[in-house]
Amino acid sequence: MNKSFKIGIAVAAAAGSLTSVALIGVGGANGTGPHWEYQGEEGPNHWGELDASYQACADGSAQTPINITKFEKKNLKNLVFNYNHNGVGTVVNNGHTVQLNADAGQSVTIGNTTYPFLQIHFHTPSEHEINGKHYPLEVHFVHKTDGGEIAVVGIFVTEGRKHNHAWDGFVSALEASDSTPVNVDWDEMFPENKQTLRYSGSLTTPPCTEGVAWNIFTTPVELDREQINEFINTYNGNMRPVQPINGRKVFLDSTPNS
């Protein structure tokens, strides 16, 4: 049965709060394709015109991000993370966001598919909306199989009172030079409650490739105001507007998970 959920209260009735995801470094955002921007004549409304390889940005029927207003509960296998607690990320500032490339040997298993972990990056404000509302920050954990299947795990970030030390590595990367190694405990960056909202979407940057498995934590992570401002002051407005849902279903996994 479909249920709508409200921002803040979020999935409190169903299981918590809310989080999101997106994708850079797998497509044009890593500088391998024609130039694009988030505003003006090379902004999202024109991405599909910039190059034939970006056509899905204009003509795709399963694009991301979306405004999530309803979901269906479904008994789905929990996401299984194989992440390093003593990891090292490598800084890449690609002109659209700052990302940390992950050290090798890490993965997430979703259903029967294991996706190697590639990188994380951020968007301010969040790209996904919940009942038309944004979070101040959204972070995407990007995964890709050797066969090209992509899965993104998304986290919404909200303001809390306490400094979140698990995110110190990513915050320090914002002003670091490219190729700088950063110590990071990847697993500790996640919320304690790992329930997810799931749907089939796309990359949120050119070439806007579809068939991406989106997994959005229902519980946001809390950072203090100073930490959030570090992201906002680095790149603000690096988000794609929400796209038509076109009849797609969003599923809330109802399998107990923590």
- The candidate with the shortest Cα–Cα distance to 190, out of 143, 129, 140, is 140
| Catalytic pick among 46, 96, 134, 165 | 96
Alpha-carbon dihedral angle through residues 111, 116, 119, 124, given to the nearest 10 degrees: -10
CA distance 14 to 61: 29
CA distance 19 to 253: 14
Q: Can 143 be counted among the known catalytic residues?
A: no
Main-chain dihedrals φ then ψ at residue 48, nearest 5 degrees: -65, -15
CA distance 62 to 202: 7
| Residues annotated catalytic, as ranges | 96
